């Protein structure tokens, strides 16, 4: 009897694990497209799935569909629903990949995209924006996203400058400085909120996050940050794997740890800040999606990062769909839905797979 040499099958198991993850990636990519189609069809005006598909396909280059739909339907699909869905997908992808990056960089399962002050910085910026006289109106982008973005970047810069020791950036110091600065900014935000009078409601709503009223102009502003940030992070995925050993071993295996930390921190912070500025501080996605992906597909960042991007996008589009349809015409804040839908599923995963998760 001729059997395969044992050593060949040993690599075989590793390779089949890779194959499974590649197939999952392709599957999730197709799933994302289908879910975009379905989510675009559902709403106060029901559009048949076939019509939605035709309208969307018609927009692709080199595809010409015969127009069988009313132009008002096309407007609903293309100018009202689609930008909102794309923005939700981008935000979900951004938060999930940023969360995975922070968790990997800090080797800490509790890390999320808001750990080092991005969210509180953005909140303070946004609240200041809300409290400014409404007569201030900067052309182009809304004043709130601009202030939120500046706040997010400024807060992270302060945390970075405080934690830097010479040419190194000790990760624990960075986390502690982030937590402390977040607390400080959070208390300022709380004070501003209670003294905000009639703007209280809009501030609270912004902070819980929402995709309502999203426009293509917003999508186009967020897109470059998120695409560039994600590309940079994914390029360094293999080095992020080596970083999981510890910083000393990573250096002994040829990783320039300090510059890697800087590059990844900058990229992850930029995409988080871009997302938070336009859609508010949506919690839960950034911490849970990477863990769920890790539980299902393992810890290799070359798969963890792209799988988190797709899963995050799908998750956010679905939760946004729920938030705008369940109690229509009232919209439930997206932050409420992410936790209500996501937490039970994550707890189920934790319970089902009792092996080490991080």
Residues of this chain that bind another protein (CB under 8 A): 6-7, 10-11, 13-15, 107, 235-236, 238-239, 241-242, 244-246, 248-249, 251-256, 294, 298-300, 302, 355-358
In angstroms, rounded to a whole number, what is the distance separating the alpha carbons of residues 358 and 335? Answer: 25
Provide the residue count of the chain: 358
Q: How far is the CB of 283 from another protein (least distance, A)?
A: 24
Measured from the CB atom, the residue of 14 and 62 that comes closer to another protein is 14
Measured from the CB atom, the residue of 81 and 291 that comes closer to another protein is 291
In angstroms, rounded to a whole number, what is the distance separating the alpha carbons of residues 274 and 279? Answer: 9
Measured from the CB atom, the residue of 64 and 248 that comes closer to another protein is 248
Using DSSP, state whether 107 is helix, strand or coil. Answer: coil
Q: How far is the CB of 108 from another protein (least distance, A)?
A: 12
Q: How far is the CB of 291 from another protein (least distance, A)?
A: 11
Q: How far is the CB of 248 from another protein (least distance, A)?
A: 5
Positive or negative, the CA dihedral 117, 122, 125, 126 is negative
In angstroms, rounded to a whole number, what is the distance separating the alpha carbons of residues 81 and 40? Answer: 6
Buried b (16+ CB within 10 A) or exposed e, 315-330: bbbbbbbbbbeeeeee
Q: How far is the CB of 170 from another protein (least distance, A)?
A: 14
In angstroms, rounded to a whole number, what is the distance separating the alpha carbons of residues 268 and 309? Answer: 13
In angstroms, rounded to a whole number, what is the distance separating the alpha carbons of residues 157 and 243? Answer: 23
Measured from the CB atom, the residue of 167 and 351 that comes closer to another protein is 167
Q: How far is the CB of 240 from another protein (least distance, A)?
A: 11
Residue 87 in contact with residue 211, Cβ under 8 Å? Answer: yes
Measured from the CB atom, the residue of 154 and 234 that comes closer to another protein is 234
- β-bridge mates for residue 231, sequence order: none
**Taking the CA atoms of the chain, what radius of gyration do you get in angstroms?**
22
Alpha carbon 335 to its chain centroid, in Å, reads 13
Q: How far is the CB of 260 from another protein (least distance, A)?
A: 10
Report residue 168: phi and psi, to 5°.
-110, 160
In angstroms, rounded to a whole number, what is the distance separating the alpha carbons of residues 282 and 209? Answer: 5
In angstroms, rounded to a whole number, what is the distance separating the alpha carbons of residues 27 and 307? Answer: 10
Measured from the CB atom, the residue of 61 and 254 that comes closer to another protein is 254
Measured from the CB atom, the residue of 124 and 255 that comes closer to another protein is 255
Measured from the CB atom, the residue of 59 and 353 that comes closer to another protein is 353
Q: How far is the CB of 190 from another protein (least distance, A)?
A: 38
């Amino acid at each position: 009897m001729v059997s395969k040499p044992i050593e060949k099958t040993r690599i075989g198991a590793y390779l089949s694990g890779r194959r499974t993850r590649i197939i999952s990636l392709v599957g999730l990519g197709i799933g994302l497209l289908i879910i975009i189609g379905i989510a675009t069809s559902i709403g106060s005006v029901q559009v048949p799935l076939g019509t939605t598909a035709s309208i969307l396909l018609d927009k692709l280059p080199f595809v010409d569909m015969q127009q069988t739909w009313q132009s008002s339907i096309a407007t609903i699909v293309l100018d009202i629903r689609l930008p909102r869905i794309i923005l939700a997908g981008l935000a979900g992808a951004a938060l999930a990949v940023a969360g995975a990056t922070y968790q990997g960089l800090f080797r800490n399962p509790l890390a999320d995209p808001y750990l080092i002050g991005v969210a509180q910085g953005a909140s303070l910026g946004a609240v200041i924006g809300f409290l400014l006289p409404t007569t201030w109106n900067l052309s182009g982008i809304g004043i709130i996203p601009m202030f939120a973005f500046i706040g997010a970047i400024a807060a992270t810069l302060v945390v970075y400058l405080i934690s830097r020791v010479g040419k190194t950036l000790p990760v624990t110091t960075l986390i502690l400085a982030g937590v402390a600065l977040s607390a400080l900014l959070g208390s300022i935000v709380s004070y501003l909120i209670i003294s905000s009078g009639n703007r209280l409601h809009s501030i609270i709503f912004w902070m819980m996050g929402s995709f309502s009223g999203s426009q293509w102009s917003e999508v186009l502003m967020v897109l470059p940050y998120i695409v560039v940030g994600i590309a940079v992070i994914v390029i360094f995925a293999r080095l992020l794997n080596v970083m999981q050993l510890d910083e000393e071993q990573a250096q002994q295996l040829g990783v320039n740890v300090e510059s890697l930390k800087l590059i990844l921190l900058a990229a992850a912070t930029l995409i988080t800040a871009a997302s938070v500025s336009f859609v508010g501080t949506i919690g839960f996605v950034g911490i849970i999606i990477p863990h769920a992906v890790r539980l299902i597909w393992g810890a290799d960042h070359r798969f963890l990062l792209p799988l988190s991007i797709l899963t995050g996008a799908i998750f956010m589009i679905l939760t946004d769909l729920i938030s705008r349809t369940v109690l229509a015409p009232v919209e439930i804040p997206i932050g409420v839905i992410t936790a209500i839908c996501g937490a039970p599923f994550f707890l189920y995963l934790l319970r089902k797979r009792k092996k080490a998760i991080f």
